[in-house]
Structure formats: structure tokens, C-alpha cells
């Protein structure tokens, strides 16, 4: 079945570092991918919709200059957390679906810890 690969799975870095997370659809093309964030004991919250070949659409309250999204090809979307701070520590997860009425497939997530 369709698979989404996310890398890296774990990042620990110092405050002020920029961190890039990759999300790849392995056996299907995804014109749209989604990025979520999950704080401890909270729901997954949609951060942004990544659109191939155009600008990402950000949810209210998500800083687009802080969370840079690039969707340069039909199989790859990247999320860059720029100048990360401890409050950005969270679990980030991406998803993609090859068809609207089919299940979204999720990556394994990236646990980001900013010291």
C-alpha cells in the first residue's frame, strides 16, 4: 500500500538552530501534503497544507516565516523550523493521500527537542 516516509525521526539541537524535516510519498504522487504538530497530551493540530508548485497554506496562528514549507516535487515536502526555540519542541508529523476519498497516510513523525 501507499507509504509515506518522514526523516529524521528524532532531532535534538540547540536553541537558534534551523531544522529541516522531510516527508516523502514513496509509491504515489501527492500534490498535497499536510503537516501536523502534536504537543504532549494534546490533539494533532494541522499546521499547514503543502501544495506542490505553489505556496503553502498556513493555519491561523502558525507563523509562515517560522515554519518554512517547500513542496518542490510531487513526492517530497519539507518543513524547516527556523531558529528553533524550546517552545518549538514537539512531535511533527506529515501526511499525504493519493486520492481525496482514500485514507491519509502518515509518516512516522519527528520528535524535535530544542535545548
Partner 1 sequence: KQEVTQIPAALSVPEGENLVLNCSFTDSAIYNLQWFRQDPGKGLTSLLLIQSSQREQTSGRLNASLDKSSGRSTLYIAASQPGDSATYLCAVHDSSGGGADGLTFGKGTHLIIQP
- Of 34 and 67, which has the nearer Cβ to partner 1? 34
Exactly one of 30, 56, 79, 93 binds partner 1 (CB under 8 A); that residue is 93
Minimum CB separation from partner 1 for residue 83, in Å?
A: 25
Question: d(Cα 16, Cα 6) in Å, to the nearest integer?
Answer: 23
The DSSP symbol for 50 reads E
- Of 8 and 103, which has the nearer Cβ to partner 1? 103
C-beta of residue 17 within 8 angstroms of C-beta of residue 77: no
Place of cell 527537542: 113
Exactly one of 14, 41, 54, 87 binds partner 1 (CB under 8 A); that residue is 41
Place of cell 513526492: 75
Subset of residues 61 to 80 that bind partner 1, contact rule: CB under 8 A: none
* Binding stretches for partner 1 (CB under 8 A): 6, 32, 34, 36, 41-46, 49, 93, 95, 100-109, 111
Amino acid at each position: 500500500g501507499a507509504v509515506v516516509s518522514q526523516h529524521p525521526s528524532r532531532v535534538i539541537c540547540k536553541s537558534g538552530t534551523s531544522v529541516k524535516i522531510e516527508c516523502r510519498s514513496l509509491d504515489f504522487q501527492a500534490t498535497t501534503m499536510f503537516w501536523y504538530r502534536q504537543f504532549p497530551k494534546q490533539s494533532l493540530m494541522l499546521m499547514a497544507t503543502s501544495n506542490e508548485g505553489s505556496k503553502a497554506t498556513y493555519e491561523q496562528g502558525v507563523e509562515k516565516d517560522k515554519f518554512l514549507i517547500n513542496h518542490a516535487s510531487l513526492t517530497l515536502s519539507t518543513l524547516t523550523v527556523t531558529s528553533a526555540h524550546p517552545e518549538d519542541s514537539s512531535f511533527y508529523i506529515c501526511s499525504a493521500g493519493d486520492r481525496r476519498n482514500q485514507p491519509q497516510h502518515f509518516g512516522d513523525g519527528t520528535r524535535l527537542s530544542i535545548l
